[in-house]
Structure 1
């Protein structure tokens, strides 16, 4: 479990003197965090590789880790993240069988050296990372998990980048 008595240095809690410069997407994140306790940011798949989604604001609002999910349709990932984001006590090693029918999801702590490659808007929001992230890992159609099958359909962010198999997820590291 992550430290509940953390110091939040996000753009809501502190005035960094640049609020007039926030883009519309940044204002949307702030508004969502203030209204719903978190926002979900999606990065669409493109010719470079698969997409991913992640939360921003759980650490600020709930004292819980942010969540990230990779390699599925953005709407599916955003739905899963919104379901999980409502829960307290999320931690490394947990499984959740009630998010996607018939498929358990697993939580793995993200190695902070990955943050810059995948969580830029969260870094902007918090200003003083690292803040805790959990990767939401899904099994393949046969129930195989990436740490068992070696599948790279989603990154293995619980590993240091130097331990990760080179491929689409490591190109910006």
Structure 2
């Protein structure tokens, strides 16, 4: 699904001739990637739906998948969870991590590229050539049940192709 050889075509590795047009958010991402190896972009909840957060730069800096988390009420919690996981190598589809959200495991699921445009715009700007690997960090409900077990739409099911997802708040921009 992804390039077999990791050739990074991001805005750090390649000059696309538009660096004078970068705004403060673009420069912030670049600075974070250069300093910390990745940046976490937060998209706050609004009247259209819940918020989400995702990393930019892990693929560039470490050859590791980018991470995304959706639907928790507190954007800062999602950003913190992504930073905890962001430090780890070898993250892959199906893994469980019990030490990210207090008292609850999270599971990692591969994001299908058909979702990228709807959710990862700044990541597309950075890499210029998707798809690059993304993993969705999926959290359970208070009973420890994951969305694929109970059909919950509190977070999107990005491991499904967009056409297979139940229509709702997460599919309106796909």
TM over 0.5: yes
Shift of 1:4: 8.0
In structure 1, C-alpha distance between the alignment counterparts of 2:15 and 2:3, rounded to whole Å: 24
Aligned to 2:144: 143
Q: What is the root-mean-square deviation in Å for CA atoms of aligned residues?
A: 1.1
Shift of 1:3: 6.9
Normalised TM-score (structure 1): 0.97
Correspondence list, 1:81-96, <5 A: 81-96=82-97
2:78 paired with 1:108: no
2:98 paired with 1:125: no
In structure 1, C-alpha distance between the alignment counterparts of 2:118 and 2:132, rounded to whole Å: 15
Render the CA deviation track for 1:49-93: whole Å, top value 9, x for unaligned: 000000000000000000000001100000000000000000000
Number of residue equivalences = 172
User: Unpaired runs of 5+ in structure 1?
Assistant: none
Q: Which aligned segments of 4 or more residues in structure 1 are displaced greater than 3 angstroms?
A: 2-5
In structure 1, C-alpha distance between the alignment counterparts of 2:39 and 2:112, rounded to whole Å: 22
In structure 1, C-alpha distance between the alignment counterparts of 2:60 and 2:15, rounded to whole Å: 15
Aligned to 1:67: 67
Q: Secondary structure at the match of 1:67?
A: strand
In structure 2, C-alpha distance between the alignment counterparts of 1:158 and 1:140, rounded to whole Å: 18
Shift of 1:100: 1.4
User: Unpaired runs of 5+ in structure 2?
Assistant: none
Q: Secondary structure at the match of 1:8?
A: coil
